[in-house]
Amino acid sequence: MGKLQDSTAVITGGNSGIGLATAKRFADEGAAVYIVGRRQAELDQAVQAIGGHVRAVQADVTQLTDLERLYAIVKQERGGLDVLFANAGAIEQRALEAITTEHYEQTFDVNVKGLIFTVQKLLPLMRAGGSVILTGSVAGVKGLPAHDTYSAAKAAVRSLARTWTMEWKGRGIRVNVISPGAIDTPIIDSQAATPEQAGALRAAFAVATPLGRLGRPEEIAAAALFLASDDSSFVTGIDLFVDGGLAQV
C-alpha cells in the first residue's frame, strides 16, 4: 500500500518539471491527483506520462474564477482534499534598473497572489491531518543578482507558511515550504536566450552547488512526498531546503 493510498491531492503547475515529477510520485503512492496548469496540450501530455488516477484541470492560478471552478470539481468528484501542493510559479530575471510595473505585477501575481488564493479557495476542502506544501526557493534567502522581484516573492511565500501555521492551530492541517536549489527543469531554459546560454547557466549552477550538480525533479518529489504523508505528521511551519547545499554554506 502506498503512502498516499486513497488520498486526494491537487498540484498546481503540475504539467511540467517539479510539479509533473511530484504528480507521478503521488499517483504511484496511491493518490488521486489533480494537476493544474494553463496550457491544455501540456496537461494532456502530462496525463499520458503520469498514468494512474490523474485528472487535469486547465486553470490560471491568478484568476479567482478558475480557482473557484477547481474547488467545485474537486468537491464534486472527491468530497475533500488531503494534499495541496501550491507549486505554480514563474521567474523572469531583472535587475533593479530594468524592473517595470508589468514585470513586478506578473511576478507577484503568479508567485504570491496565485499561491494565496489557491490556498484560500481550496482550504475549506482540506481534511484534518491534511498537508499544504508551498514551493519556495533558495532565492528567498540568498542575494542573487537580477532576482530582485522573484527573490522578494519567494521570501513572501516563506512568511506565509509561518503565518498560516499559527492561523491554523487546532485545525490539524500542516503547512510547509519546499525550497529547491538549481533543479534541471525547463524553467532554466526559459531564463536563457539560446540553448548554449542555457547550458552555460546549468554549468554555473552546478559549480555553485556543493554537491557539484543540478538536482533532479524526482528529488524534489521525494521531499514533497515526505511532507504530504504521515511520515511528517509532526512537521509544520518549516522550510525544507532541497538544494544540494547551495543556500546552506
Q: What share of the chain is helix, strand, coil (3-state, %, to 5)?
A: 50, 20, 30
What one-character DSSP code corresponds to residue 43? H
Cell of 33: 491527483
Which among 79, 6, 70 has a CA at the least distance from the CA of 43?
70
| Lookup result for grid cell 547545499 | 245
CA 54/CA 51 separation, integer angstroms: 7
Residue 79, number of CB atoms within 10 A of its CB: 10
| Lookup result for grid cell 507577484 | 108
CA 118/CA 61 separation, integer angstroms: 6
CA 62/CA 112 separation, integer angstroms: 9
Catalytic residue among 34, 71, 104, 150: 150
CB 62 within 8 A of CB 109: yes
Task: Assess whether 34 carries a catalytic annotation.
Answer: no
Cα atoms found within 13 Å of the Cα of residue 34, Cβ hemisphere only: 27
Active site residues: 150
